[in-house]
Amino acid sequence: MEKIYTLSLAFISIVVINNLVLTKFLGICPYLGVSGRIDMAFGMGLAVTFVITLAGSMTWLIDHLILVPKGLEITRYVCYILVIAGAVQLVEMYLRKFFPPLYESFGIFLPLITTNCAILGLCLFLNVWATDNFPEAAVLSFGAGIGFTLAICIMAGIREQLNFSDVPKALRGAPITLITAGILTMAFMGFAGMIK
């Protein structure tokens, strides 16, 4: 019981309180690039969730089973990137086969998940936060993906509305998107300190 409580707290924490996009400003590239339409944003969110869950849990395993016992922490980045890149390649093949329209609309942003800093960030944060058991690492990884999906979908919803509003000419496009991102972040600041 105690364990489930901790895990659900960890999940809520990574989704809303320590949301990687909104509080750490990681993974901004797809967050701003693919948030034009909700369906695309949701697809991107799912792709990132898959990659981040796979990468997070696998790197935790590799880290704790091989790298730390052998004293090979210096090769962390290389190993992590290897895992992430492999996972992204897998996602790309899968999408290309089963969701060609989605694959087309992602364009360059799909392979760019490889270098999505939210994913490498999460893998490294698992060390920083000293996550010492596998379920917690897996839940945190999955939660980070869900948090990313949440953030990008909210953003896409706002941007779809923005298309119909009268934005001053100087702010159209990227500027208003960045302002929106800033205000959204401030809204999420309200969650800070909810869990001790």
Partner 1 sequence: MINIFIAQINWLELWNNSWPAGVTMLVLGLGFSIILLIADKKLKVEADPTIERIYMALPRIDCGTCGFAGCSSYAKAVAADPVLLGKCAPGGAACAQKIAEILNLQVSGEGAPKRPIVHCGAKKSDKTYFGKYDGIASCTSANATSNVQACKFGCLGYGDCKASCKFSSITIVDGLATINYNTCTGCGACAKACPRGLIEMVPFNYDKIMTVACRSQESGKDTKAFCKVGCIACKLCAKQTDAFSINNNLSKLDYSKYTPNEQFKTAMEKCPTNTIVYRGK
Report, in angstroms and rounded to the nearest whole number, the Rg of the chain calculated over CA atoms: 17
Pick between residue 21 and residue 40 the one whose CB is nearest to partner 1: 40
Per CB under 8 A, 90 contacts partner 1:
yes
34 CB-near residues (< 8 Å, 6+ apart): 40, 41, 44, 106, 109, 152
Per CB under 8 A, 24 contacts partner 1:
no
Beta carbons within 10 angstroms of residue 5's beta carbon:
9
Alpha carbon distance 106, 41 (integer Å): 9
Q: In the complex, what is the shortest distance from the CB of residue 60 to partner 1, in angstroms, rounded to a whole number?
A: 14
Per CB under 8 A, 111 contacts partner 1:
no
Per CB under 8 A, 115 contacts partner 1:
no
Amino acid at 62: I
Per CB under 8 A, 68 contacts partner 1:
no
- Cα of first residue to Cα of last residue in the chain, in angstroms, is 19
Site for partner 1 in 137-196 (CB under 8 A): none
Residue 39 CA: distances (Å) to CA of 42, 102, 149, 156: 5, 9, 11, 9
State which of residues 97, 128, 170, 196 lies at the interface with partner 1 (CB under 8 A).
Answer: 97
State which of residues 89, 115, 133, 161 lies at the interface with partner 1 (CB under 8 A).
Answer: 89
Q: In the complex, what is the shortest distance from the CB of residue 167 to partner 1, in angstroms, rounded to a whole number?
A: 17
Size of the site for partner 1 (CB under 8 A): 20
116 CB-near residues (< 8 Å, 6+ apart): 27, 29, 30, 48, 51
Per CB under 8 A, 66 contacts partner 1:
yes
Per CB under 8 A, 94 contacts partner 1:
yes
Binding site for partner 1 (CB under 8 A): 62, 66-67, 70-72, 74-75, 78-79, 82-83, 86, 89-90, 93-94, 96-97, 100
